[in-house]
Structure 1
Amino acid sequence: MTDRPLLWLRHEVRPGEGRAAISPHTARVLREAGFPITVEESDQRAFSLQEYVDAGCDTAATGTWADAPEGAIVVGLKELPEGDGPLRDHIYFGHAYKHQHGAAHLLGRFVAGGGTLLDLEYLVHEDGRRVAAFGYWAGYVGAALAALEHRGHLEPDMKRRSKEDLDALLREGGAGDDGARALVVGALGRSGRGACDALEVAGITVTRWDIAETANLDKEALLDHDILVNCVMVSSPAPPFVTGEDLDAPGRRLSVISDVTCDVTSDLNLLPVYDELTSWEEPARVLRPADPDGARPQVRIVAIDNLPSLLPAEASATYAEDLLPTMLELPDGAVWDRARARFVQALDDEGVAH
C-alpha cells in the first residue's frame, strides 16, 4: 500500500469560519486507513479539539502549519494568511484559477515552495462533477439571508447557529403574507436546490430557472421578482443576468439580490452590478436607492462568500462525508491527477514560470 501522507488540518484565519474539510467522524475513518492526522487548535471550529483527539489525531498550536514535516498535506477551506513565503502541498479553495486578483502571486508561492494547490473546487469526477461541494448549504443560507433582508429582519453580525434555529427565523413574521416572489437561477444544481428549500421554509413563492431559461434570458420576467438568488457558476463568458441598466429599468420590482456564487473578482461575473463582497458584519449593502416617487424600490445586495459558515456543523458534516472517498485515495487516484493537471494549467494561464 502506498505510504499515507500526513494530513495537517489547519485553523481557519477568516474570522468566524467554523467549517472543516475533515470532521471528527471522517478523521477516525482516515486514521483507521493509516493516515496520520494533526489538527491545529482553533477557537472557532464547529468541532472541539477533543473530538479529533478521540478520533486518534495529534494536535498542534494554531497557525503552525508552516512547520509541518516535509511531505505533509495542509488541509483547509478558505484563504491562507497573507504573505509571500513559499508553499508546499495544500488542499483548500484557492480561488486562483479564473484570473482572480492576486492569483499569479499565490500560484507563484506554490512554485517557489515546490508545492501544489490541490483546489477543492477542482476535485472532480471524470464527467466534471465535483466530488464534494458546500453548494447546497451555500444556496440554503444565501436564500435565507435574502428572505430575511426582504422582510427587514436581516441583522448585522449574524452568529453561527443550527439549521433548526435558522428555520425558526424564516418562519417568523407571517411567512409569505407579503406576496413576495423569488427567482432562483441555477435551480437544478446543488446550490439552487438549497436555495429553493430555504425559500419554501420561509413561505415565499419560488420561480425556478436553469439552463433552458437562461439560454434566452427574459429580463422583464427576472425584474418582476422581489428576490433574485444567483446560484450559477460559469467557466466561460456569458451574458450577465443583471446590469446597471437593468436596475434603472422602469417598473423594476427586484429589490434584493443574493449572489451565492460571488464571482465578483472574476471576468466571468454574471452580476456586474457590484464590485465588493458583503460580510457577516454588514451582510447587505444598497446598490440603488428607492425612487423618490416610489416607482422603484431600493435594491440591496447580499454577497457573502462563505455562506455555509452560518451553519458550520451541518455543512461540515455533509461536506466531509462527501469528500471522504477521495481523501482515502491520497496521494494517488484519478481525481488527484486531474487536480494536479489543473494546477499546472493555471500556472500557464497566469504566465507563472514553473
Structure 2
Amino acid sequence: MEYRMFGESGCSVSCTGLGLAALGRPGYINLGHHEDLGNEYDPSKMEAQTHAMLSLARAQGINYFDAAQSYGKAETFLSTWLMAHPREEVVVGSKWGYYYTADWSVQADKHEVKEHTLERLNLQWPESEQRLGTALKIYQIHSATLESGVLEKRAVLQRLEEIREMGYLIGLSLSGVQQSVVLEKALAVKVGEKPLFGSVQATYNCLEQSAGETLQKAFDRGLGVIIKEGLANGRLTSRNTGAYLKTLTDMAQSYQVTEDAVALAYVLSKPFVSVVLSGAAVPAHLISNVRGSEIKLSQQDIRVLDGLKVKPDHYWAERASLAWN
C-alpha cells in the first residue's frame, strides 16, 4: 500500500482509505447494498461487520478511515473498534452538518438532514471528539454548498478556526454540479490572515471529472485531497449495465483485476489525489478495491478512461435517482 503526505498536515495516509457510509446504517444508495448486508440489520451484527472490515483494512495497509455524524452509528462503531487498536496508527476524518433521521430503517422518508448552523456544529463537534479521541485528525463540513451559505457564516467559520487551533485539520466535503464553484469559494476563506481549510473531499471518477482542475489547484495550495465515490456508488462496477462498462471490463481483463480496481486506479493516477475512499461493506469488495492501488495504468488507458466523462448535470441527476436500499 502506497502512503502519501496529506497536504501540509504532516500526516501520512494510505492512498486507499475506507469510508463508513455503507457500514454504519442499514440504508444506502450503493447498488446492491442490501445484498452486502444480507438483510441483517441488527446493530450488534452491523457493528461486528464494521469491526471486521476495519481490521481487514488495517491488514491491507489502510490507515485512513472516513466517517460522518449522518452515517448512522458509524462513529460509534469506529470508536468501539479503536478501543482495541492503537489510535496512533490511524488517521480518522469525520464530518458535521448532517444528522441521521432514518431511525434504523431502510424505508425512511428522509435518511439525513442538512443543518449548517453554529448550533449544529456545537452539538456534533463534542460528540465526534469524545468518540474518536486522538485518532480524529480531520474535521469536515459535510457537503458544503452555496445554498446552505456555510462559507459565509462568520460565527461558524470562527468556531472551526477555534477547533483548528486545538490541532485539528479543518476540511469540507463537496457534492453536486457546483463542486468546483464551492471549492473556489472555500479556497478564499480566511479567518484572520490564514486560509481556514486544509482538506477537501470531492466526487471524482471516470464519469464525473468536472472538479479536476480545481482539485489540482487546491492540492497545489497545500490541501489534502480525499476522493469519494470513485466507483460512482457502484455504477463503475460489474453490478451496473452502463454502456461504458465494457471498456472497464476489457481493461480489467488485461490487468487481471476487476472493474472496480481499474476505476480506482484511474482516480489514483491523478496527481492531485491524496487518498481515494473504498466504500466496501464486505471483505471481497475491499480486497478487490485495494487492487486499484497495486496496478499502474498506461497513459493510453488513462486517456481512454478520460473519454468516459459525462456532463455533470447528467451524472448528478442519475445519482439522485439511485434508490436507498
Task: Please say which structure displays the higher CA radius of gyration.
Answer: 1
State TM-score, norm by structure 1: 0.29
State TM-score, norm by structure 2: 0.31
